[in-house]
Amino acid sequence: MLVTDGLVVEREGAVVWCVLDRPPLNVLEPGLIGALGETFAELARDRSVRAAVLTGHGRAFTAGMDVRVLGAQDVAGAKRLITALHAAIEAVHHAPFPVIAALNGACLGAGLELALACDLRVAVTAARLGLPEVRVGVPSVIEAALLPLLVGPGRAAELLLSGEAIAAAQALEWGLVNRVVAPERLRDAVEELLGKILAGGPEAIRLQKELMIAWRYADLRTAVRYGINAFASAYATGEPAEGARAFLEKRAPRFENAP
């Protein structure tokens, strides 16, 4: 276990759990932002990591940026702060392995932007999700740009312009989260998703994650071309041959480097 600047990092086999630990609301400030970015940059270099989970300690995932930090900025400082925050969240977004956000409570502002950068989101029933920045005089920016891709432009506009938070059940209905569970079921639900991910070919999952990121930045024609290249690249790994053999022999595949 590694504990640094409000971030607890624990390895469990091929999975890394990263826990935001700045009670009571795990608000983000420069130290925690830096620790988050550095941690994911380091994990990205470790090919034995097959998935990561981001969650919070206590009653919140994170309530967003520390308002005292926000209030202390001038124009130049604000640009440095938001650039550093984007770099950290982008490290999560571009991780070469799947990242699951386990939303154990409130997920607001920059916290929602962090969750949007993850590939899957599991929320507890009491979680509330929102982007309240306009209520403290700033727009929602950086990875908030991912929101319309998930919920559509109309619903995204409602969240962005009203600053209101929505309940987990509504977030599920809108497609903002993948699962809503009772608090005591959160870890089980996350581990169930992890099990499904780890059952796939390790290299195929990495190729799929790379492709998912590329699609977000590409037009349709380019996205299809990326997919063709990724499909061909999979055959350099040996996983398609083993997958086909396993299917024909009616057994689970034995992928190299799988747990």
CA distance readout (Å), 188 to 21, 70, 171: 21, 36, 20
Last residue of a domain, one of 178, 198, 218: 198
Answer yes or no: is pLDDT of 207 > 90.
Answer: yes
Is residue 169 domain-shared with residue 237, that is, in the same domain? no
Total-model pTM: 0.96
User: In this structure, is residue 156 part of a structural domain?
Assistant: yes
Length of the chain: 259
User: In this structure, is residue 239 part of a structural domain?
Assistant: yes
Answer yes or no: is pLDDT of 259 > 70.
Answer: no
User: In this structure, is residue 259 part of a structural domain?
Assistant: no
User: In this structure, is residue 23 part of a structural domain?
Assistant: yes
Instruction: Identify whether the C-beta of residue 7 lies closer than 8 Å to the C-beta of residue 40.
Output: no
Rounded to an integer, what distance in angstroms lies between the CA atom of residue 39 and that of residue 36?
Answer: 5
Is residue 145 domain-shared with residue 244, that is, in the same domain? no
CA angle 218-110-8, nearest 5°?
105
Instruction: Identify whether the C-beta of residue 124 lies closer than 8 Å to the C-beta of residue 56.
Output: no
Is residue 111 domain-shared with residue 232, that is, in the same domain? no
Residue 226 domain boundaries: 202-248
pLDDT of residue 179: 98
Instruction: Identify whether the C-beta of residue 85 lies closer than 8 Å to the C-beta of residue 39.
Output: no
Is residue 138 domain-shared with residue 233, that is, in the same domain? no
Let me know if 50 is exposed, middle or buried by CB neighbors in 10 A (0-12, 13-18, 19+): buried
User: In this structure, is residue 145 part of a structural domain?
Assistant: yes
Q: What is the pLDDT of residues 70-80, one digit of tens each?
A: 999 999 999 99
Answer yes or no: is pLDDT of 63 > 80.
Answer: yes
Rounded to an integer, what distance in angstroms lies between the CA atom of residue 60 and that of residue 111?
Answer: 10
Rounded to an integer, what distance in angstroms lies between the CA atom of residue 181 and that of residue 212?
Answer: 26
Rounded to an integer, what distance in angstroms lies between the CA atom of residue 118 and that of residue 38?
Answer: 16
**The one catalytic residue among 12, 38, 133, 203:** 133
Is residue 149 domain-shared with residue 30, that is, in the same domain? yes
pLDDT of residue 104: 98
* 133 classed as catalytic: yes
Mean pLDDT of the 90-118 span: 98
Assign residue 132 the CATH number of its domain.
3.90.226.10
Is residue 236 domain-shared with residue 145, that is, in the same domain? no
Rounded to an integer, what distance in angstroms lies between the CA atom of residue 121 and that of residue 213?
Answer: 16
- What is the domain count for the chain? 2
Is residue 182 domain-shared with residue 101, that is, in the same domain? yes
pLDDT band at 1 (very low <50, low <70, confident <90, very high): confident
Is residue 107 domain-shared with residue 179, that is, in the same domain? yes
Is residue 190 domain-shared with residue 112, that is, in the same domain? yes
Mean pLDDT of the 38-57 span: 97
User: In this structure, is residue 138 part of a structural domain?
Assistant: yes
Q: What is the pLDDT of residues 150-192, one digit of tens each?
A: 999 999 999 999 999 999 999 999 999 999 999 999 999 999 9
User: In this structure, is residue 149 part of a structural domain?
Assistant: yes
Is residue 141 domain-shared with residue 216, that is, in the same domain? no
H-assigned helices in 152-238: 153-162, 168-174, 186-198, 202-217, 220-234
Give the chain's mean pLDDT.
97
Answer yes or no: is pLDDT of 122 > 90.
Answer: yes
Q: Are strands 2-4 and 166-167 parallel, antiparallel or unpaired?
A: unpaired
CA distance readout (Å), 86 to 41, 110, 117, 184, 230: 13, 10, 10, 32, 27
pLDDT of residue 257: 73
Crossing angle for the helix pair 202-217 and 220-234, to the nearest 10 degrees: 170
Is residue 173 domain-shared with residue 222, that is, in the same domain? no
- In eight-state DSSP terms, residue 219 is -
Is residue 163 domain-shared with residue 214, that is, in the same domain? no
